[in-house]
């Protein structure tokens, strides 16, 4: 499942989302931008999204459709120029249920092995409130603390944790969690230079036809709208806004390494 190693001089960014397409809509521009800057960018996808809308694939079996979505995500990662995705092999809608223990163990293992400098995942609101999103937020947040803060073992590492927020490039059809407020916007990433890569990644998810941009306005929103995040750790001032992901101080020297 995990073919990548942590041994690289480059800064490492690890994004964890629940279904193929989450990564492209929420953070595709940011993943592409930092990969183009020379960072090693990894993606974990908890499920194959086999319960999602079928579009042109409605005659396929569940397994066949899962394979299609897996291949679509592989293609999206190529457009973003990031590592091939790692999957937790959870059933769709089971991340916080039957898959909880397995997903928790795998995420912790991946974090300890990759030792990411920056982690991106869902916030507690899960954008839409989908149970796989909110469960993954809890799993990743817990693993982040367990894997990056070893203060009592003498080798505390520093890393940054970000929660993805909704921006206007997220399809209107994606509903808003009405029970949990999204975290405050702290971080705006300009993705205009990689907008075409983000658009190509989104279009790789062909089965999700209902989410594809259907107007020039929607295309322009994807191409040019900055992506939004909340920096959960380290803490940021109540009104502060940043325009770059925070690389831990100990890794700043590596940022120049391509
Ligand atoms: Zn999702």
Task: Assign 258 a pLDDT band (cuts: 50, 70, 90).
Answer: very low
CATH numeric code, 12-256: 3.40.50.10320
Q: Per residue in 17-62, pLDDT tens? A: 999 999 999 999 999 999 999 999 999 999 999 998 887 888 999 9
- CA–CA distance, 89 with 189 (Å, rounded to integer): 30
Res. 101: pLDDT tops 60: yes
257 CA to centre of ligand 1 in angstroms: 33
Residue-level pLDDT at 21? 96
Task: Assign 249 a pLDDT band (cuts: 50, 70, 90).
Answer: low
**3-class DSSP assignment, residue 178:** coil
Q: Please, which residues bridge with residue 45 across strands?
A: 17, 87
- CA–CA distance, 145 with 219 (Å, rounded to integer): 37
224 CA to centre of ligand 1 in angstroms: 22
Question: What would you measure as the largest C-alpha separation in the chain, in angstroms?
Answer: 56
Beta strands in the chain (DSSP E): 12-17, 40-47, 86-90, 118-122, 160-164, 187-189, 227-233
Q: Please, what is the average pLDDT of the chain?
A: 90
Are residues 145 and 121 in contact, defined by beta-carbon separation less than 8 angstroms?
A: no
76 CA to centre of ligand 1 in angstroms: 15
Residue-level pLDDT at 8? 62
Q: What single string gives the DSSP state of each residue in 220-252?
A: HHHHHPPEEEEEEES---TT--BSSPPPPGGGG
256 CA to centre of ligand 1 in angstroms: 33
Res. 201: pLDDT tops 60: yes
152 CA to centre of ligand 1 in angstroms: 36
- CA–CA distance, 179 with 246 (Å, rounded to integer): 29
Task: Assign 250 a pLDDT band (cuts: 50, 70, 90).
Answer: low
DSSP annotation of 170 reads: S
93 CA to centre of ligand 1 in angstroms: 10
Res. 6: pLDDT tops 50: no
Number of CB atoms found within 10 A of residue 254's CB: 16
241 CA to centre of ligand 1 in angstroms: 27
Res. 70: pLDDT tops 70: yes
216 CA to centre of ligand 1 in angstroms: 24
The predicted model gives 64-80 an average pLDDT of 97
227 CA to centre of ligand 1 in angstroms: 17
User: Domain ranges in the chain?
Assistant: 12-256
The predicted model gives 205-223 an average pLDDT of 91
The residue among 44, 41, 42 whose CA lies nearest residue 18 is 44
Q: Which two tokens stand for residue 238?
A: 């109540």
Strand order across the beta sheet in which 187-189 lies? 86-90, 40-47, 12-17, 118-122, 160-164, 227-233, 187-189
108 CA to centre of ligand 1 in angstroms: 21
Measure CA 23 to chain center.
5
140 CA to centre of ligand 1 in angstroms: 15
Task: Assign 175 a pLDDT band (cuts: 50, 70, 90).
Answer: confident
Task: Assign 152 a pLDDT band (cuts: 50, 70, 90).
Answer: very low
130 CA to centre of ligand 1 in angstroms: 7
7 CA to centre of ligand 1 in angstroms: 30
The predicted model gives 218-227 an average pLDDT of 95
- CA–CA distance, 202 with 80 (Å, rounded to integer): 10
């Amino acid at each position: 499942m995990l073919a990548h190693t942590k041994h690289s001089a480059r800064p490492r960014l690890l994004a964890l989302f629940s279904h193929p397409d989450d990564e492209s809509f929420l953070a595709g521009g940011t993943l592409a931008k930092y990969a183009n800057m020379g960072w090693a960018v990894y993606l974990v996808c908890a499920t194959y999204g086999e319960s999602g809308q079928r579009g042109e694939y409605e005659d396929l079996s569940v397994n066949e459709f899962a394979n299609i979505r897996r291949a679509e995500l592989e293609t999206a990662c190529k457009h973003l120029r990031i590592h091939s995705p790692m999957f937790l092999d959870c059933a769709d809608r089971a991340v916080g249920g039957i898959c909880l223990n397995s997903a928790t163990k795998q995420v912790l293992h991946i974090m300890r092995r990759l030792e990411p400098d920056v982690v991106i995942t869902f916030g507690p609101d899960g954008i839409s409130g989908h149970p796989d999103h909110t469960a993954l937020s809890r799993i990743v947040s817990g693993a982040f603390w367990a894997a990056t803060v070893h203060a009592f073992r003498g080798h505390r590492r520093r890393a940054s944790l970000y929660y993805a927020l909704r921006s206007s490039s997220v399809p209107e059809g994606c509903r808003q969690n009405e029970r949990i407020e999204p975290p405050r916007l702290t971080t705006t990433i300009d993705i205009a230079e990689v907008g075409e890569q983000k658009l190509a990644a989104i279009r790789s998810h062909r089965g999700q036809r209902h989410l594809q941009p259907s107007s020039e306005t929607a295309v322009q929103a994807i191409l040019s709208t900055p992506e939004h995040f909340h920096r959960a750790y380290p803490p940021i001032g109540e009104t502060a806004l940043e325009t770059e992901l925070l690389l831990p101080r100990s890794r700043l020297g590596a940022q120049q390494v391509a």
